[in-house]
Structure 1
Amino acid sequence: MDVREATHRVLDAADEQFYERGIQAVGMDAIRSRSGVSLKRLYQCFPSKDHIVAAYLRRRDERWREELAEYVRQHGGSGRHAVLAVFDWLSEWFRRPEFRGCAFVNSFGELGGVSPVVAEAARAHKKAVGDYLRELTGSLDVSDPDGLAAQLAVLVEGAIVMAAVTGDLDAARTGRACAEAAIATAAR
């Protein structure tokens, strides 16, 4: 098995295990066992667990944001519909059997105070999501697109947390209704 395949397998195993069980609960041996990669090859790819955690969070960020943006492109069109499609995608995501909330909120809650790698990754993800929402609100005819994007970011985060913590799978629909009201209020 070459380094590229081993790296991919390790990250797949880490993604599944970290997201389901938490970062601290998963050791290198569990990742090695789940990935089928020898311990020697694993350490050739990732010198430490921190390196795996950083790569896991980077990859999860990219995949999550790409999937969201693709959904919005396919289902949202532009303007107001694109913004609201964000909440439609969240609604679909919440209903997946593997949904465990936001990997970045989870990892930050678990390790953000002691792991600069985790704290930085969580902050970078939230900034990137906020930037994407600002991009979407920039096409709206509203008086304060940045302010609206900030409100939407809070609605997105709130919906994710409510769905994960309470099991309210309709939290995205509630967030969508609030987003519609916020857009209407912000309209010039």
Structure 2
Amino acid sequence: MKKSPPPARAVRRPDAAASPPRAAERIRESARELFYREGIRAIGVDEIVSRAGVTKPSLYRSFASKDELAAAYLEDYDAAFWERFDEGAAEHPDDPRAQLLAYLAGLAQRATKAGYRGCGLTNAAVEYPEPGHPARKVSEAHKRALRERLVGMARQMGARDAQALGDGLLLLIEGTFASGQLFGKGGPARALVASAERLIDASVK
């Protein structure tokens, strides 16, 4: 009697989560670290591919230019910013004041730590003043969205002049981005939450 062949062994496919990151992901991660720490203009393509462990053609297959890579870095930064900013909404639903103060408390902590380099989007706007540059466009869109969001939150809080309160809060945030790099621990950033509370209290009916 002819023996039947043994059952085929199931081929174990590698878990996608365990797979090594693709070249484009490694390039993006390396660019994020280098651009934030050193500035976009200060970092060349050679340094990025060396850090990522890929070739220069690999970079240009994923990004048409360094400018496009810079824009991708800032888009990632923008997404991470809003994720952090919106954490307070889950903790304090229907309470815009508490939501905002939760974000500011986290910002004050980050801004007083060693190695803090402020907001990558603000830094990029300073590095690229020319209108229409890919990095500048991402930065401007983010800052306009943040301003609108703050004005909307000020309106929800019942501010007499929502535009003025929103702009005042934006100035506090941007000031923290800059002063945190200069003073670190013990600097003005430690007073961020208290300053925001006083500003809100003075503006809300």
Q: Which category describes the TM-score, using the shorter chain as reference length?
A: 0.7 to 0.9
For the residues of structure 1 that align with 2:148 and 2:167, how far apart are their CA atoms?
9
Q: What does 1:1-150 correspond to in 2, within 5 Å?
A: 5-70=22-87, 72-77=88-93, 78-113=95-130, 116-150=133-167
Unmatched segments (≥5 aa) in structure 1: none
Superposition TM-score, scaled by structure 1 size = 0.86
Aligned equivalents of 2:131 and 2:44: distance in 1?
17
Aligned sequence identity (%): 30
Deviation of 1:99 after TM superposition, in Å, equals: 1.9
**Residue 158, structure 1, aligned to residue 171, structure 2:** no
CA RMSD, 1 decimal: 2.3
Higher normalized helix content (fraction of residues): 1
Partner AA of 2:67 in structure 1 = D
CA deviation digits over 1:82-104, x for unaligned, max 9? 22222102112224444211212
Number of corresponding residues: 185
Cα displacement (A) at 1:18: 0.7
Larger mean Cα displacement after TM superposition, 43-52 or 138-147: 138-147
Name the residue aligned to 2:10: none
Q: TM-score, normalised by structure 2?
A: 0.80
| Contact map agreement 1:75 1:82 (CA 8 A) in 2 | yes
Larger Rg: 2
Flag structure 2 segments of 5+ consecutive residues without an equivalent: 1-18
One-letter code aligned to 2:157: L
- Report the Cα offset of residue 38 of structure 1: 2.2
